[in-house]
Every structure is written in C-alpha cells, then in structure tokens.
Amino acid sequence: MKLTAVVGIFVITAASASIMAGSAATRASATDGSAPATSCATTNACIEGDNTSTGPGVKGTSTKGHGVVGTTKSKGTTSGTSHAGVLGQDLQSGGGNLNFGIEGTSINGTGVEGSSSSANGVVALSSGGSALFAENTGSGDGSQVIGLNNDGTNTSTRNNSSNDFVGRSGVWGHDDSTDGGTLNVGVAGSSTNGIGISASSSNYVALNAIGGGGTGFNDFPVLSVVTGNTGTSFFLIAGCSSPSDNPCTVGSGSRVFLLDNGGNMMIKGLIATGGSCNSGCSGPSHGLSHRVMSYVPTQSTPSIEDFGAAQLVNGRANVALSADFANVVDRKATYLVFITPEGDSRGLYVTDKTAAGFTVRENQDGHSTLDFSYRIVAKPYGVNKPRLPMETVGRKAPPHTR
C-alpha cells in the first residue's frame, strides 16, 4: 500500500532512506527564522543520508522540541508546484507490500497528526489497495472522525455500475466476526436529538434492506423497527408524500401512513390486496403474470365479525357464540346479528341477545323448519376508539437538509 498524506510533515519511507526535495503535497510549520546551517540552489537534496544496512538513513532527536522539521515555501497552486515539507518514499521493487511510505508511532500520544487551516489535513492515495487502512488491535475504535461544523465523514464512490454491473458503496460497513453472535452491526448511526440514519436518492431507491431468516419461533425479519421510548403512545413509522415534510412526523400535512407502538395502523387512501382468479391469472403471458386486485372495506367504528349457519326447528333456534369469538369481544357491549333465511318462511328475527348467544324466531309465531346463515358484528375487547374521529394534520417538523 502506498500512502500519500497531506500533513504538516509528509513522509514516504524508503528501503534506502533519503531526505530529498521532491513532489507531493502540503506545507510544514514555519521554523524559528534562523539562518540554515546548509543551503543550496539545486534540484537535488542539500543533505542526504544513505544507509546500506538496517539502520535509519537519517535520525533526529530532540529533548523538548520536534525531532525533525521540514518546511517548503513552494506556492502549491498547481500539481507542478506542490511539494512536501517532508517527503518519505518506499522505493523497494521486490513486490512486498509491508513497507510504509510514512509511519508514526507513539507510546501515549498520537502516532501521526496532520492539520491544515484551509485544505485537507490528511490525503491518502492508492492505485492498488486501500488508500487508508486503520486497525486497532485493542478495544478502541479502528477510526474516529469528528466534524465540529460539518459532516464527521464524507465518503463517496465513482464506480460506473451501468457499465460493469457491479454496485459499490459510498460507505461500506460490515461485521466480519465469526463467533455466531448477533449483536454486532455493519453500520450504526445514532443521534441525541437529530436523525440517527438518513437515506436519500434523487432517482432511485433511498433505502434497500436485504436479510431475514430463521425457522419457527426464531424467525428474523428483513427490517426491525423498535421504539426508543417506553410511554403509552408513540409511533413507529410515519410516511409522507411531500418532500417538504422532511422528516415525516405524526402532524405532517402530507402524511399518508402511520403505525403506532400499539400496532394500530392509519392510512390515507384505499387498502388493496392482490390474488388469483379462475380465468386470466394463471401463468405468465409475454413474460408478465396477472392477478386481480380487490379492496378492503372501511367502517366508522372498530369491529370484529363472525359468521355461521344454524337450523330453525319448529320456528325457533338458539345460537351460542363460539367460545373463541366470545373471548375476543366486549361482553358488556351489544352486538349486531344479521340473518339470511335459506328457505321459505314468514321471516325471521333475532331476540334474547346475551353474552353467551342469541335466539332466532319466525315472524307471526310461525313454526317453519329451515336452515339460515348469520353474521355477527361486535365490539372488539379492549378497544375504545371513537366513531369517525377528526384528526389535525399540518404541523411541520423543523426541516432536515443535506
């Protein structure tokens, strides 16, 4: 790996070390202004140290100051006039990749530091391996980047996926552990008051999630959403149709979807399902398959329904609510029963409704015997939602911009 760093000191180490004036990037700190002990006016180095053994070519030691200081007064306005305060090179050509262009070590402080008041503090370039590689063999972070007034990190890819059909990432985080644990994450984002992770795309999918697996009780979803609050009324997901509602909140005017932590879903528009049919749905046609869309009915209050069939004998039938249905309805509330006779009669009516069941009788004290079907509409247990509630929308959250 070749590492080129734009720093106050710029080094690319060599198997035969040389200190020489050369190309590459940034400006070192100024010296104290005293006259140099050696000066020259050539394109070669004023001072050069060669070591043909394993020792350093040049070594600088200072008790209280810098061990080595290198400066450049080159203007650096173009690539041809940009030079380094200190240049280190790895010149070996044996094919090994374990040498360093620049290496810094420290017992308690920082191994390498680069700073700039108007340009990049550090620049890393490579035509083969990773331009910048950081590894922590202890318990600390592999890398830590902090931006005081801008992004902590800003990375991108220029891979041309339309030609090579291989997708690359602006940020690629992966968990390479092999112990089988499930607590690590490839990429994590968190925020105290802002957005933990934001995904956007101008012309394609903003967020793509792939995963899921397991069997039985240990099935794992592709996407897991967990509220960070323990209160009684919080919302897990909100969806908006307008880019101006960014982020989308409960009070956003263009909100079309809402899912709360009680499992209640609110949607603006119709709910449709797709299924098979007797004719026209089987098999692909010209590479396309077909299915029939149907719509979910809406209602003014929450309800739960049951269906069944019974027989009227001598003008009377007692129908008990099934135990599983009675277990999920509010037994203190009344319910509706709709009867459909399946034979000739004077008409049927429902009476004596209780929490256990109801009675069906024939009009005018008739004594017919016939089958009938019924539909029961009841109030769900534990649900106390108002009838056709009016909600207020249009409260905007502070805009989130990039």
Is 71 in the same domain as 93? Answer: yes
The enclosing domain of 335 has a CATH number of 2.60.40.2080
Is 190 contained in some domain?
Answer: no
The H-assigned helical ranges of 70-200 are 161-164
Give Cα 326 to chain centroid, integer Å.
43
3-state SS class at 163: helix
- The dihedral sign for the CA sequence 176, 181, 182, 187: negative
Sheet with strand 265-267: strands edge to edge: 235-240, 255-260, 265-267
End-to-end CA distance of the chain: 34
Return per-residue pLDDT of the chain as tens, 402 residues.
Answer: 343 333 333 333 333 333 333 333 333 344 555 666 677 888 888 888 888 888 888 888 888 888 888 888 888 888 777 888 888 888 877 777 788 888 888 888 888 888 888 888 888 888 877 888 888 888 888 888 888 888 888 889 988 988 878 888 989 999 999 998 889 999 999 999 889 999 999 999 999 999 888 776 678 888 999 888 776 678 899 999 999 999 998 889 999 999 988 888 899 998 888 888 878 776 666 677 788 889 999 999 999 999 999 999 999 999 999 999 999 999 999 999 999 999 999 999 999 999 999 999 999 999 999 999 999 999 999 999 999 998 877 765 566 565
Rounded to two decimals, the pTM is 0.65
What is the span of the domain harbouring residue 261? 233-272+290-298+389-402
Give burial (CB, 10 Å; 0-12/13-18/19+) of 22: middle
The amino acid sitting at 275 is G
* Residue 211 near residue 220 (C-beta atoms within 8 A): yes
Is 360 in the same domain as 260? Answer: no
Joined together, the tokens standing for residue 71 give 């400066």
> Residue 305 carries which DSSP code?
E
Rounded Cα distance between 377 and 353, Å, is 13
Joined together, the tokens standing for residue 192 give 């105290």
Is 97 in the same domain as 17? Answer: yes
- Sequence-ordered list of residues with C-beta below 8 angstroms from that of 200, at least 6 positions apart, any chain: 206, 402
Is 127 in the same domain as 252? Answer: no
Is 245 in the same domain as 259? Answer: yes
Rounded Cα distance between 327 and 301, Å, is 20
The H-assigned helical ranges of 45-189 are 161-164
